Structure 1
Amino acid sequence: MPPAAAHPAAAPHPPVALRRIVQLFRPYRARLAAVAALVCLSSVVAMASPFMLRAVLDDALPHGRTGLLTLLVAGMVAVSILTSSFGVWQTYISTAVGQDVMHDLRSAVYARLQRMPLSFFTRTRTGEVQSRIANDIGGMQSTVTSTASSLVSNVTTVIAAVIAMIALDWRLTVVSLLMLPLFVWISRRVGDERRKITAQRQHQLAGMSAIIEESLSVSGILLSRTMGRSSALVDSFARESRELVDLEIRSNMAGRWRQSTIQIVMSAMPAVIYWVAGFAVAGGHPLVSIGTLVAFTTLQTSLLRPMVQLLSTGVAVQSSLALFGRIFEYLDLEPGIREPAEPVAVGTVRGDVRFEKVGFAYPADFADEREVLRDIDITVPAGTSLAIVGETGSGKTTLGYLVARLYDVTSGRVTLDGTDVRALSFADLAEAVGVVSQETYLFHASVAENLRFAKPEATREQLHDAARIARIHDHIMSLPEGYDTTVGERGYRFSGGEKQRLAVARAVLRDPPVLVLDEATSALDARTEQDVQAAVDALSVDRTTITIAHRLSTIRDADQIAVLAHGRVVERGTHDELMAAQGRYAALVSRDDAVPYASA
């Protein structure tokens, strides 16, 4: 965890086609059509008011026609009631559609990330991923929720108002619309400026999320306090927060004076119309009646709000393009590991595993681009055990993970009962191959919930049986709340050996015919290692077991041992055979025996 997260400049994202954004709303066409219908009805009904106002001023009031006046006033009140009712329903439907689109985006991004290979997560900060889902999609909420209805509403209102203005007097309409092209140009310039600032702001938010996720975890707090770096981290976070404040101010103030100019000019337009009409009257050529003039300026005033909102919506859409670009970047990621279109059906899995001319290299954009494995040929008959040993970096863990398709081979194939694992569905493969990783991950939930992650329908008796096999039941029952005890952040309330035995219990519940054990006893004391090894031995009975060995004393009884060096199998045999050969394995065992166990 770096003490100060220095973020590189935000990489520019490719332009997002508006058509792609529009496609997000395609599943909700019917509801959007209902919104459009409500908006059109509301706009058409609202346009009746200026004409009724003209009739009031030019006919009902001057001639004392009280009956007509009553009808006109009642009509104006009815228009207000109808437009308000239409507005409420329009807001409800458009908000529901917008929230559904947000849900679709969040779910799509999460689902895509679930399909990414491990290599993606080893090179991407967790805080960055969280920021894309929370901050970026959250930042689009107002745009997605209100933009569609706002565009339809304001466009319809503007069109209806312009038509009504032309019907009242086309000459005054031309004067009113002369400045419109300039307003549109100004809004586009403001939108471009805000889009660039928005991209920088979201990048800064992602950096802050990464700092929070790393430095405020249990491990981060321990590291910062034991290293005396708490104050430095506070200062670093304050600097990042201050930069975000500056970006927020710049984003909100971008083009604010130019947009204020637009509002001032548009607000002044009714005064201009009065001025033009006044000069015409003074010249003896009145353009319109008083009623028409008041009705026209009323329409102008009603035109001001939707025009300003349309321009503001355009700015908001341009600003949100940066957010859409960041989200679509994740949606466009190639999963790397794909489920077959027509997976091979599996029956009862025996557990025969074969590595056939297997080679593996990390993707070109990964930090380690070298070929990790090459020409691996190993057969593991059903119900037998294979131990993989070798120096750090020899490819042991990678080889084991290929069986579960946590990575995919780049050459050759891995088969299960003669079927290439790439031909199996993810669900079938997960049922057949279980993995107990050297880094046990526990959720911030109860012991029972963590165990049931492997088998949601497991009964309490099944949990107890699995925990007994893993030699952890008695310890769980000694806790104040037993199986309902919360394990804490990343299981921090449990020791390393206890967490490892919980992982074994989870694997017992899963009950896979093939088990990959990335052994994690190298950092445990002798007593804890014995407890964990006893649990692992119980788990391994009657199933195919592939053990990635870090401490060689734990795999002496394996049916076969494969020694890796520089990505190749250099020795293979039983413990006794390899010791008799006095080769690389014997040297590893001698060195391992010379290393004392970790103290408790």
Structure 2
Amino acid sequence: MSHPAEEDDPFEDVREETDNPMRRLFAEYGRENSLQFVVGTLASVVARVLDLMPPLVLGVAIDALFNEGANLTFAEAAAQTLPLLTPAMLDGVVPATREGQFYLAIGLIALGFFGGSAFHWTRNWGWNSFAQNIQHDIRVDTYNKMQRLNMDFFADKQTGEMMSVLSNDVNRLERFLNDGMNSFFRLSVMVVAIAVILFTMNWQLALVALVPVPLITFFTWKFIKTIQPKYADVRSSVGQMNSRLENNLGGISVIKTSNTEDFESDRVDDVSMEYFDANWDAIGTRIKFFPGLRVIAGIGFVLTFLVGGLWVLSGPPGPFTGSLELGQFVVFITLTQRFIWPMAQFGQIINMYQRARASSARIFGLMDEPSRIAEDPDADALDVTDGEVVYDDVTFGYDDDETIVEDVNVTVPGGDTLALVGPTGAGKSTVLKLLLRMYDVDEGSITIDGQDLRDVTIPSLRRQVGYVSQDTFMFYGTVADNIAYGTFDADEESVVEAAKAAEAHEFITNLPDGYDTEVGERGVKLSGGQRQRLSIARAILKDPEILILDEATSDVDTETEMLIQRSLDDLTADRTTFSIAHRLSTIKDADQIVVLEGGRIVERGQHDELLAEDGLYAHLWGVQAGEIDELPQEFIERATRRTSRTGAESDD
């Protein structure tokens, strides 16, 4: 039988390879928090022992103080209730008078309640601290791993799925480590201690009380086998639902302008119903399991009450032998209830464990995600002197089936500007992503001042390269925060100067709070052109040795583009610059223009030279000049074929 998780879970492959995720959880994260674990465990033991004191003292008091027919002293009753003690051991401890014994009983009962409360507080502190620390460490480690994965990982995963791992799965682990582990040790101590007491009091009646244990064990094992795949389905469906909600909220303006609210409501209804079905399937199993455990536990309690009651009233029934005092029977019934119900509650802990196991498998599945980029631990920092960039026979494909960039050879002297031109899908953006080492080349090499990018540290490379993308992204915060992002030590004056250089200062000062204006989520309070100018200001403030402009003025009007272009001319004057622009007028003065088609270089030269060749560049220039009627039919047919491509081929 297949499960939705197997078909739709984006982490399924690595999740299945995660061996013993819970053992790995404790091995990697539990050791750092061993103090809290030990405190929680020891406090659980002491707290549960103190919890057992009141019923034991009550039984002794009944036989020694209130049941005259028993003819037992306090010491004798205590030894009979708990044979681990002897009357001789209590000599000098138990008062001689009945009044003194009465107050001793009250004191012991009070000690059980108040002392138990203190150790329960200590137990809760230990387990909560243990769980919270691990939750924090796992969330941070998972995020750190995630943000260092290759870009192709994010192309295959939806944001909601990854948010589900960072939020829901990590929180579910915390609930198990706190509530589940806390309850496990509390109940374990209770069950073991009560079992010892019952057997020392009356081993025959204890066997009656333990009749349900084999049934509870089998029932629990069956539950584990049934519920585990169901919880995997639930975790998968949560990720899918979060992805749909995140996607729709991010595209709310498109939904409104397309009048597709009803369509999207139906899609949300579908994923919500998938989650409902998966969750209800797990709930259905769970709600059958726990009442079944209560029935089994109830059978043990009824049998114990029946046999013990007959024993007190009429002597040992059937094959049973020996005596059973009233106080002992009261203790036995009280402790039997405390013994059987914890046995049933182990099912709740197992239920939490299975949920946590499914979540930990997803977390470690993500953390084990392989990266295509492997940084040499002995790599040196990049040292940029002239800024010369060389592409030497570079070939690259996002997968083994298709090559996106092939045999690219380019040399860009330090301080020069290289423009990349070509139709959509030619591989222009891919060429520049390789320079940023978002991906590693499959063949050939890229060097900066003779240093292979694979031999230098990634942080040092990206510190030296400024990137302005056509897809501008603003972080939630102020205008100043977004300009200074990545250059966090910049002062206010430097931020303003960068904004002026990007032709952004005037519109910023007209905002309600100037540079302190909140831009909203993803910069929603700003126009596309304003966001793009802030992105350029961010790159100017970084003052990199190498600059990449990927459609840097695509979202601005003609006048603003002219102003920004004037600033960019000053910015690029003394640094190596790579520029992609569909508006060829913005790159016609580049030192070198490379024309790509199908991932290969088909033309190179300066603007006038390429126009004279009357090749692809000249035809693209003609399109922008409005000379469509003069274009050759072959160019139009090739353009039709190019625009019909999808997937990775659409990368610029």
One-letter code of the match for 1:32? F
Equivalent-residue separation in structure 1 for 2:163 and 2:627 (angstroms)? 41
Give distance in 2, aligned partners of 1:293 and 1:595.
104
2:241 maps to 1:241: no
The reply on whether 1:127 has 2:127 as its aligned counterpart is no
Match of 1:37 in 2: 42
1:94 aligns with 2:98: no
Deviation string 1:468-496 (CA, Å, 9 cap, x unpaired) is 11111112112221111222332233333
The residue type paired with residue 291 of structure 1 is: G
Deviation at 1:522, TM superposition (A): 4.8
Shift of 1:444: 2.9
Structure 1 contact 496–524 (Cα < 8 Å) conserved:
yes
Instruction: Name which of 235, 254, 257 aligns with 2:285.
Output: 254
Paired AA for residue 26 in structure 2: V
Distance 2:521 2:61 in 1: 72
2:502 maps to 1:470 = yes
* Structure 2 stretches lacking a partner, 5+ long: 1-5, 69-96, 629-652
In structure 2, distance between residues paired with 1:177 and 1:329: 41
Q: Is 1:460 the equivalent of 2:492?
A: yes
Report the residue type matching 2:25 in the other structure.
I
Q: Does 1:410 align with 2:410?
A: no
- 1:423-572 matched pairs, under 5 angstroms: 423-522=455-554, 524-572=556-604
Aligned pair partner of 2:215 in 172, 182, 189: 182
Q: Is the 8 A contact 1:195 1:320 kept in 2?
A: no
Q: Deviations over 1:207-242 (max 9, x none)?
A: 22222222222xx22222222211222233234334
Q: Does 1:354 align with 2:390?
A: yes
Q: Which residue of 1 aligns with 2:369?
A: 333
* Distance in structure 2 (CA, Å) of the matches to 1:406 and 1:248: 39
Aligned residue identity for 1:133 = L
Q: Report how far residue 16 of structure 1 moved.
A: 4.9
Provide closer, same or farther for how the CA distance between residues 287 and 258 of structure 1 changes in structure 2, counting only shifts above 3 A: farther
Q: Deviations over 1:108-130 (max 9, x none)?
A: 12111111111122222222222
C-alpha distance in 1 between matches for 2:475 and 2:286: 47
Distance (whole Å) between structure 1 residues aligned to residue 402 and residue 9 of structure 2: 28
Query: What is the CA-CA distance between 1:52 and the residue it aligns to?
Result: 2.2
Which residue identity does 1:20 align to in structure 2?
A: R
Does structure 2 conserve the Cα–Cα contact (< 8 Å) formed by 1:194 and 1:254?
yes
Larger CA deviation: 91-100 vs 420-429: 420-429
Most deviating of 157-166 and 45-54: 45-54
Using the TM superposition, give the Cα deviation of residue 272 of structure 1 relative to its aligned residue in structure 2, in angstroms: 1.6
Corresponding letter in the other structure for 1:101: I
Q: Which has the larger radius of gyration?
A: 2
Alpha-carbon distance in structure 2 between the residues aligned to 1:327 and 1:590: 53
Bigger mean CA deviation after superposition, 570-579 or 438-447: 570-579
Q: Secondary structure at the match of 1:443?
A: coil
| 8 A contact 1:165–1:173 mirrored in 2 | yes
| Partner Cα separation in structure 2 for residue 242 and residue 123 of structure 1 | 24
| Higher alpha-carbon deviation: 163-172 or 349-358 | 349-358
In the TM superposition, residue 86 of structure 1 has moved relative to its aligned partner by 0.6
Which runs of no fewer than 5 residues in structure 1 stay unpaired? 1-6
The letter for the 2-side match of 1:550 is: H
Contact 2:417/2:576 (<8 A) preserved: yes
CA distance in 1, matches of 2:392, 2:383: 22
Q: Specify the alignment match of 2:648 in structure 1.
A: none
Can you list the C-alpha shifts for 1:144-165, whole angstroms capped at 9, x where unaligned?
2222222222212211111111
Q: Does 1:276 align with 2:307?
A: yes
CA contact (8 A) 2:549 2:579 kept: yes
Q: C-alpha separation between the residues in 2 aligned to 1:323 and 1:211?
A: 20
Instruction: Tell me what 1:400 maps to.
Output: 432
Residues 1:104 and 2:137 are matched in the alignment? yes
C-alpha distance in structure 1 between counterparts of 2:457 and 2:8, whole Å: 40
1:19 maps to: 23
State the one-letter code of the partner of 2:601.
V
Q: Deviations over 1:159-188 (max 9, x none)?
A: 111111111111111221122122122123
Scaled by the length of structure 2, what TM-score is found? 0.84
Residue 67 of structure 1 is aligned with which of 79, 100, 109?
Answer: 100
Partners of 1:71 and 1:169 in 2: how far apart? Answer: 25
Partner amino acid, structure 2, of 1:22: F
Paired letter, 2:512:
P
Moved more, 287-296 or 537-546: 287-296
In the TM superposition, residue 549 of structure 1 has moved relative to its aligned partner by 2.8
Q: Distance in 2 between matches of 1:283 and 1:148?
A: 43
Of all paired residues, the percent bearing the same amino acid is: 32
Q: CA separation of 1:370/1:9 partners in 2, compared to 1, >3 Å: closer, same or farther?
A: closer
Secondary structure of 2:404's aligned partner: strand
In 2, Cα distance between equivalents of 1:536 and 1:101: 48
Residues of 2 paired with 1:146 and 1:62: CA distance? 42
Superposition map of 1:180-219 within 5 A: 180-217=213-250
1-structure distance, mates of 2:527, 2:307: 85
Indicate if the aligned counterparts of 1:444 and 1:489 stay in contact, CA closer than 8 A.
yes
- Counterpart of 1:223 (choices 223, 246, 254) is 254
405-414 or 248-257: which moved more? Answer: 248-257
What SS does the corresponding residue of 1:379 show, helix, strand or coil? strand
- CA shift, 1:556, in A, is 1.3
| Aligned residue type for 1:327 | I
Provide the rounded CA distance (Å) in 1 between the counterparts of 2:211 and 2:588.
Answer: 89
8 Å contact kept, 2:426–2:596? yes
Stretch moving more, 341-350 or 292-301? 341-350
Q: Which region of structure 1 is more displaced relative to structure 2, 47-56 or 165-174? A: 47-56
Q: Is the 8 A contact 1:521 1:550 kept in 2?
A: no
